[in-house]
A and B are shown apart, each in its own frame.
Chain A
């Protein structure tokens, strides 16, 4: 077989494996959220299906799949059908550039990453900026006032917070001198936890900005205004049922996981252990390949836990507070952070 075919086959294999794992984690993130929010509110959460309710995602999926799939009269059908596809597609797309473990090459193919690109970080930002369309078109094509209001809120919110999100990452790019995610992680692992961008890199403020902006980008509490039940019944997905609703649902949780992966890569040293390169890598090939993935998954899990914790404890913002906070505080602070990082780099090269 030629190099091209091996490359193609391995790439398809990687895509399939990553998709299966990703979708499974999406299902179990939903369960994790229901369990944790349950405990926060002093109740059990789902506990009937399987041990500890572990099979709940399966029955949830089956329920959504078997529901009647309605297309209301008066919707603009082509866009109504296209919108959930865009939402889910964008959510699944950005996982393709995320490296999960050590850059181990086999037959000229990176094992733990679907595509290794020089502009990986920008691709994630690009996909984020495209994913607005899913929600915006869903709201507009539904021909429903609640949906439209939800979609308008969501578009405005995502455009506003995208700015702060992008600006908060400039400090890291300055420090690394590259947009490649692998390179960003490599720089952070030189001195273990001391050289993570969050600590040694001096990007603590950037991390807080990224965290806030990411919650807003993924439409999660306390910024879940696009689907605020008390005001908008369901927001942009009011008119969707069955699997189309499930696609929006999966897209939201998929985005949560992607944001967690990106935060891990950019601020928490990616797949590196607490000691990083201070201790030599294990000689055993299996340990060398698997341990980084364990670290990566643990960090992403911690991030998801934080996500759900925030949702369980913070009340929702008011719309004008949301806009004011984004434009008047986050963006200026992100710019100051860039100036500060550049000055620090100029003084201590």
Chain B
């Protein structure tokens, strides 16, 4: 059952990602990205990470992509114009991507061989944090510094956006 669901949603995910690149209209690309995000959420769910899955839906598929589509609609962006593309990107890009993915795959396969098949980073799948209590325990004790640093980072980004958008001379 898990395998069937995994195959279906991994397929959706890949199809969405390819469609994202092939579509010429920004709205279609944005919608494909939503399909990718949502299928990823289902994959998280299959791994037993309920909270992560629903956070993925709320934050990415819900908030971020709504803003994307909102901006596309507001500016009424038209079809993408085809250019010939740069030669350098074609000559260097494809081999570089190939090497990049090969390295990542090798590392992952190596790690998987060393660890037990059922273990992900030394944690049993059934140990996944499901209750909000356990999650907050980790977030606000062990991971407090990275958590707070991330919040500060986001705050800086917000302040930057406000500073950029503010019109001089307007009160």
**Chain A interface residues (CB < 8 Å from chain B):** 4, 79, 117-119, 122-123, 125-126, 129-130, 132-133, 136-137, 139-140, 148, 151-152, 155-156, 159, 162, 173, 177-179
Q: Which residue of chain B has the shortest Cβ distance to A183 in the bound complex?
A: B131
In the complex, how many residues of chain B place their beta carbon closer than 8 angstroms to a beta carbon of chain A? 23
Task: Report chain B residues within 8 Å CB of A152.
Answer: 70, 73-74
Given A119-B51, A136-B73: A177 touches B57 (CB 8 Å cut-off): no
**How many angstroms from the CA of A137 to the CA of B55 in the assembled complex?**
23
**Which residue of the partner chain B has the closest CB to A173?**
B132
Taking CB atoms and an 8 Å cut-off, the chain B residues in 132-152 that contact chain A are 132-133
Q: Does B62 contact A (CB under 8 A)?
A: yes
Specify the chain A residue showing the minimal Cβ separation from B132. A179
Q: A155-B66, A159-B67 are in contact. Are A119 and B73 (CB under 8 A)?
A: no
Q: Is the CB of A177 within 8 A of B133?
A: yes
Interface pair A118/B131, CB less than 8 Å apart: yes
Alpha-carbon separation in the docked complex, A152 to B62 (Å): 16
- Could you list which residues of chain B lie within 8 angstroms of chain A, going by C-beta atoms? 1, 27, 31, 34, 50-51, 54-55, 57-58, 61-63, 66-67, 69-70, 73-74, 130-133
List 24 A-B pairs, Cβ < 8 Å. Answer: A4-B1, A79-B27, A118-B50, A122-B58, A123-B54, A125-B58, A126-B57, A129-B57, A129-B66, A130-B62, A132-B62, A133-B69, A136-B73, A140-B27, A155-B69, A155-B73, A159-B66, A159-B67, A159-B70, A162-B62, A173-B132, A177-B132, A177-B133, A179-B132
Smallest CB separation, B151 vs chain A (Å) = 14
**Residue of B54, B130, B133 most packed against chain A (CB within 10 A):** B54
Residue on A nearest B56 in the bound complex, by CB: A126
Q: Which residues of A contact B67 (CB under 8 A)?
A: 159
- Minimum CB–CB distance for B133 against chain A, Å: 6
Q: Tell me whether A136 and B70 are in contact in the complex, defined as CB-CB below 8 angstroms, given that A123-B54, A126-B58, A129-B63 are known contacts.
A: yes
> Is B51 a contact of A122 with CB atoms below 8 Å?
yes
CB distance from B23 to the nearest CB of A (A): 11
Q: Nearest residue in B to A78 (C-beta to C-beta)? A: B28
- Of B34, B55, B132, the residue contacting A178 (CB under 8 A) is B132
Q: How far is the CA of A137 from the CA of B65 in the complex (A)?
A: 13
Q: Give 19 A-B pairs besides A126-B54, A126-B58, A132-B62 with Cβ atoms closer than 8 angstroms.
A: A4-B1, A119-B50, A122-B55, A129-B57, A129-B58, A129-B63, A130-B57, A130-B61, A132-B66, A136-B69, A137-B69, A139-B73, A152-B70, A152-B74, A155-B70, A159-B66, A162-B62, A178-B131, A178-B133
CA distance A123 to B54 in the complex (A): 6
A186 CB to closest chain B CB, in angstroms? 15
CA distance A155 to B1 in the complex (A): 37
Q: Which 5 A-B pairs have the closest CB atoms?
A: A129-B62, A126-B57, A122-B54, A126-B58, A140-B73
A162 to B1, CA, bound (A): 35
